[in-house]
Amino acid sequence: MSLKSIVGQLKEMRDGIGNMSRRAGGSDGRAGHGHAGSRHSWPGLWAEQPQRLGQGQEGSQQQQHQGRWANLPPELLLDVIQRVEASEATWPARRQVVACAHVCRSWREITKEVVKTLEECGRITFPISLKQPGPREQPVQCFVRRDRATSTYLLYLGLSPSLNVENDKLLLAARKVRRATRTSFVISLASDDFSHSSSTYVGKLKPNFLGTKFTIFDSQPPSDAVVLPNNKPSKRQSKQVSPRLPLGNYNVATVTYELTVLRNRGPRRMQCTMHSIPAQCIQEGGKAPTPTGTIHSLDEPVSTLSSTKGKEPAVEFSSTSLSADLSGPACTGEEPLVLKNKAPRWHEQLQCWCLNFRGRVTVASVKNFQLVASVDPSLNIPAAEQEKVILQFGKIGKDIFTMDYRYPLSAFQAFAICLTSFDTKPACE
């Protein structure tokens, strides 16, 4: 049997599993999370296992279908998944790699072994890749779409928007929530579900009143970090839908904009303190915290609490279940990594401030920036490493921006930092 036919059968089996799951969960369930965008969003990739029926034709067919593929020799199974992983390097074709992890437990374990971290392979495969540091050599190139009507911001993987929207891979989505005294951004895996108690909730961004300081909260504890909790009781303890859902916010970074007293015209000055990333990680041989957890086991029964209310079964993004809102900074026991915006130069002929974005930014905007490491001289970091752009963000058209990030930032951290550019800053402009 050829590799192409195997992948085709895997896709058919995955679609069949998804159809049976929707029938088991009810016709009014949200199994698709927005039918128009399910083909290129994370929830569409998480084909949940159907509930264990124990009787009926569908249950027997499911067991027979999985048993045939689960009994493949490990050597053959490893070779098949390695071939699929090597051949399907870009989205949407990389969905086939995700399909391999949805077959059964043995396939999932082999897929986890074959698929390397984002830093090692430079490919985004599973949702956990969004919390892993980017590759060291080449940046991950993305773009952001802004929808002014709904105050939403969508992060896609790719150089620029494609003519075929179905080929654009949605990584993260954010919505600006306006309150009486301030605004905040809720970050999710889905473009139509921004509930804090949802399984798609990833984190949030909270500014102060003046718009000079932003705090980035992660829904799950940073890897190899100690979190200093505050003494305030959680306001979301009563909103937990399932014991599998993460119920906590961890302060992983702080973004500060320099206060402009005289209101002189010029580029914004910003500084990012990454509480969960040690400064030593950018040294030669250094290592940034890398989470490796995945969604819950695909061959375990999922909670039926949400499905009884017409909602899809909960999918675990974090391996930890929390009962407190931890808003203290996450500490690694070492000096945190500090990023600063690269100072632009004044162009006399153009009469504007300029930065070299290497063709990735084409429209002048106060939101454009580049971030580099601001390290202590005692760390003996080479000058070339200090000048390396870790994150750049800029405008290329109306409501379209590019975002390129690399090690040691993750996609979630980079996206949250870029969202600070969209908030109103009355004290900085």
The pLDDT tens digits of the residues spanning 108-165 come to 889 989 999 999 999 999 999 999 999 998 999 999 999 999 999 999 998 777 655 6
Query: What range defines the domain where residue 415 resides?
Result: 131-224+247-283+332-428
76 plus 207 within the same structural domain: no
First to last CA, the chain: 64
276 plus 145 within the same structural domain: yes
Note the Cα 246 to chain centre separation in Å. 15
Q: Is residue 42 part of a domain?
A: no
Q: Is residue 406 part of a domain?
A: yes
Where do runs of H (alpha helix) occur along 88-162? 95-101, 105-114, 118-121
Q: Do residues 378 and 387 lie in contact, with contact meaning Cβ atoms separated by under 8 Å?
A: no
Asked if pLDDT for residue 22 goes beyond 60, the answer is: no
The pLDDT tens digits of the residues spanning 238-273 come to 344 444 444 578 999 999 998 765 455 567 789 999
108 plus 251 within the same structural domain: no
Q: Is residue 181 part of a domain?
A: yes
Taking alpha carbons only, the member of 138, 155, 118 closest to residue 289 is: 118
104 plus 156 within the same structural domain: no
Range from 204-208, 324-328, 387-391, 424-428 carrying the lowest mean pLDDT:
324-328
Note the Cα 401 to chain centre separation in Å. 17
111 plus 253 within the same structural domain: no
CATH of the domain at 417: 3.20.90.10
Among 59, 90, 115, where does a domain finish?
Answer: 115
Amino acid 159 reads L
Per the prediction, the chain carries an average pLDDT of: 74
Q: Is residue 60 part of a domain?
A: no
Amino acid 309 reads K
158 plus 268 within the same structural domain: yes
76 plus 199 within the same structural domain: no
Q: Do residues 293 and 176 lie in contact, with contact meaning Cβ atoms separated by under 8 Å?
A: no
252 plus 393 within the same structural domain: yes
pLDDT (0 to 100) of residue 36: 41
pLDDT (0 to 100) of residue 395: 93
User: 306 vs 111, which has greater pLDDT?
Assistant: 111
CATH of the domain at 80: 1.20.1280
Amino acid 357 reads F
pLDDT (0 to 100) of residue 356: 86
Q: Is residue 183 part of a domain?
A: yes
Q: Do residues 170 and 42 lie in contact, with contact meaning Cβ atoms separated by under 8 Å?
A: yes
396 plus 372 within the same structural domain: yes
User: 328 vs 414, which has greater pLDDT?
Assistant: 414
Q: Is residue 251 part of a domain?
A: yes
Give the confidence band of 229 by pLDDT, cuts at 50, 70, 90: very low
User: 132 vs 318, which has greater pLDDT?
Assistant: 132
78 plus 216 within the same structural domain: no
362 plus 253 within the same structural domain: yes
Q: Is residue 234 part of a domain?
A: no
The pLDDT tens digits of the residues spanning 352-394 come to 778 888 889 989 888 999 999 988 777 777 777 888 999 999 9
Residues in the chain: 429
pLDDT (0 to 100) of residue 345: 82
In the block, residue with structure tokens 């990584």:
171
pLDDT (0 to 100) of residue 404: 96
pTM: 0.76
Share of the chain above pLDDT 70, in %: 64
Peptide bond into 233 cis (omega under 30): no
Q: How many domains does the chain have?
A: 2
User: 251 vs 317, which has greater pLDDT?
Assistant: 251
77 plus 220 within the same structural domain: no
Q: Is residue 98 part of a domain?
A: yes
Among 83, 115, 147, where does a domain finish?
Answer: 115
pLDDT (0 to 100) of residue 348: 77
